[in-house]
Each structure stands twice: as structure tokens, then as C-alpha cells.
């Protein structure tokens, strides 16, 4: 028997001077499952020098994930 699930895959990059510093990804279930998301520092030196901006990007990404989750729960995304 085939069992399927539907997800939204979201990815983002925190960029400093056109260099990828942090990679972010999320898999958001649209059918009642759970969300998983993670981040990975790609350039530690640039991250250390630009923590404030990188952390804002991480926060903005998290907020976008939450907005998508909320729209799913209110019937906005199918």
C-alpha cells in the first residue's frame, strides 16, 4: 500500500559580501506531521565578525517557518 506525505521544503542563506555564511533549511509537513529545521555555519570567520546580522537572518528564517506553519493550521496552505 502506498502512503504519501506532503511537505514544504524551505531553504535560505545568510549572505555577507556575496558569501554564504549560514545555510538554513526546513521541512514543513502540510498534513499534520512535524516540522524539522536546522542551520549550519558555512564560514565561521565571517559568522564571528557578523553574528548580529547572521542571527537576524536566522530569526527571520524561523519567523517565516512559523508563518507557514500557522497558515497550514488555519487552512491557508494545502
Structural domain contains residue 2:
no
Structural domain contains residue 32:
yes
- How many whole angstroms separate alpha carbon 51 and alpha carbon 11? 19
Task: For residue 53, give its domain range.
Answer: 7-74
Structural domain contains residue 45:
yes
Residue 5: predicted pLDDT: 84
**Where is average pLDDT lowest: 6-10, 15-19, 42-46, 69-73?**
69-73
Contact (Cβ atoms closer than 8 angstroms) between residue 39 and residue 58: yes
- How many whole angstroms separate alpha carbon 37 and alpha carbon 15? 19
Structural domain contains residue 70:
yes
**The model's pTM:** 0.87
- How many whole angstroms separate alpha carbon 43 and alpha carbon 45? 6
Domains in the chain: how many in total?
1
Amino acid at each position: 500500500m502506498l502512503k504519501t506525505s506532503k511537505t514544504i521544503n524551505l531553504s535560505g542563506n545568510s549572505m555577507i559580501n556575496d558569501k554564504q555564511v549560514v545555510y538554513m533549511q526546513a521541512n514543513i509537513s502540510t498534513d499534520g506531521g512535524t516540522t524539522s529545521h536546522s542551520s549550519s555555519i558555512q564560514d565561521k570567520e565571517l559568522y564571528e565578525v557578523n553574528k548580529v546580522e547572521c542571527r537576524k537572518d536566522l530569526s527571520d528564517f524561523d519567523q517565516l517557518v512559523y508563518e507557514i506553519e500557522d497558515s497550514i493550521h488555519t487552512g491557508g496552505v494545502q
